[in-house]
Structures are given as structure tokens and as C-alpha cells.
Amino acid sequence: MQCVRRQTRRFGAAFGAVMLFTTVALAGTGGRDLSSEERASLAAGALVSRPLSERRGSLDLLGGTSYQVIDAPLRVVWDALLDTQYYHRMMPRVLEARVVQGGPEKRTVYMRQGAGPFVRAYYLNVHIREAQGDISFSVDAQRPHDLRAAWGFYNVRPYGEGGKRTLLAYGVMADLNVGALGSLVRGDVHEWLLKVPWTVKRFVEGSGRHIYKQAWRSAQAQLTDKRF
């Protein structure tokens, strides 16, 4: 157990560095760290994924980074990312999600996610930096959890001119503790891990649009004010 904790601390620091690099690279650039092919895919509305798998000591980690352009102002996307009650409609395979403790900059969120024998329950420590457009999360090792380890982040930036679209960057690395049976569906699990920006887009632009109508109106009013 102590060895696992050392490994998770070391990888947590390493992933924090990845998060910082991604955030800095994206800031004010519209994703210029991406290749021309990736930028073309983003502009066409596609999800861009960079899968990563890694063995760190006893941890078998899956994840990577993914990017999606969402046809909604940044404020709308940001509000949705913090709206835990709708995670079951916004995030892949989420069965239950609720805030159990928190405030404007830090919260603890209970999650139950998965399907069949791969349902996992855990708590996330969530850190919110609204001014930077960043949300980071990690499994709370002090509470009951079925995942061996997980870290990740969301980052939002305006995309293109006019403020009408948002670039959502997402990163995650997780040991889902699925054992030998999980190896049969490893590829599918990995794919869904990185689909979060796409499922957020689908929700914000579709069934969730009416939920954030006030944020839409406020953003549109600000855009109108800037034109005159």
C-alpha cells in the first residue's frame, strides 16, 4: 500500500506538469500546439484524441488528452462543467454524481460510473481556477474508492473570433482496477475515457442547451455590446 501511495504521488506530480504544459500551450493560442491535421479536425467539429497508456510501478494507467470545439460561448461550457447534477447526461457511463462538500474553489464529488461488472464508485477532489479556465481533479484516497488511481483536468479557452465557440481540452490518467476481465474491453474503455469533450459538446449543444439559456443570453448580450 505504501508503495502504491508513493507511485501515485510521483505520477500525480508528473501529470500536474503535463496539465500545466497543456494549459500554457493553449492559453490565448487556439491550440497552436496541435498539428495542422489536428487543427483541421477541430475546425471540422471532430474530437481530437492523443491516447496514452503507461505502466508506473504497480499502476496500469490509461488516458491521454483530447480536444473538442464546442459551438457555445465559454461561460456556457464552464457552467456545464461545474453542474454536477447533469453529469449523468454529460459524461460517459456516469450513473450518479453529486457534490458532497465544497465551495467556489474546491469541492468533493461522489461518482458512480461504468457498466455491468465494471461499475466503479469513488470520490474526486476537485480544484477550480475560474480565472484561468481550469478544473483539476484526483481520486480522494482518504475516502472509499474502487479506482486504484486517477488524475485529470479540464481547460476552456475561446476558439476563433467572436467569442461564440469554445475549445475544451481534457486530460486524464487512471488505473480503473478492472483486472484480467478488463483486458477484453481495454480498447473500448480507453476510447470512452477520452470521449468526454465530445459528450460535453453533445449535451451543451443539444439537450442541455435550455438549461443554460441565461448564460447563453448573457454571453450574447456581451457580444452585442462589443459590436457598438
Element (H, E) at 135: strand 134-139
Element (H, E) at 61: strand 59-70
Spell out the alpha helix ranges (H) of the chain: 2-26, 36-43, 74-81, 87-90, 179-182, 186-193, 196-205, 213-227
Per-residue pLDDT band for 221 (boundaries 50, 70, 90) equals confident
* pLDDT recorded at residue 2: 47
- Distance separating alpha carbons of residues 170 and 133, to the nearest angstrom: 12
**Which pTM value belongs to this model?**
0.83
Residues 87-114 as b/e (b if ≥16 CB within 10 A, e otherwise) read: bebbbbbbeebeeeeeeeeebbbbbbbb
For the ranges 155-164, 174-183, 198-207, the maximum mean pLDDT occurs at 198-207
Second CATH level (architecture) for the domain 2-227: 2-Layer Sandwich (3.30)
For residue range 92-136, what is the model confidence (pLDDT) as tens digits?
Answer: 999 999 999 988 899 999 999 888 777 889 999 999 999 999 999
- Distance separating alpha carbons of residues 145 and 122, to the nearest angstrom: 4
Per-residue pLDDT band for 187 (boundaries 50, 70, 90) equals confident
Residues near 173 by beta carbon (within 8 Å), at least 6 away in sequence = 11, 15, 52, 54, 61, 62, 63, 64, 149, 150, 151, 152
- Distance separating alpha carbons of residues 63 and 48, to the nearest angstrom: 13
- Distance separating alpha carbons of residues 92 and 199, to the nearest angstrom: 7
- Distance separating alpha carbons of residues 44 and 58, to the nearest angstrom: 40
Q: Are strands 134-139 and 165-175 parallel, antiparallel or unpaired?
A: unpaired
What cell was used for 143? 475516502
Structural domain boundaries of the chain? 2-227
Q: How is 174-194 classified by DSSP, letter by letter?
A: EE---HHHHGGGHHHHHHHHT
pLDDT more than 90, % of the chain: 56
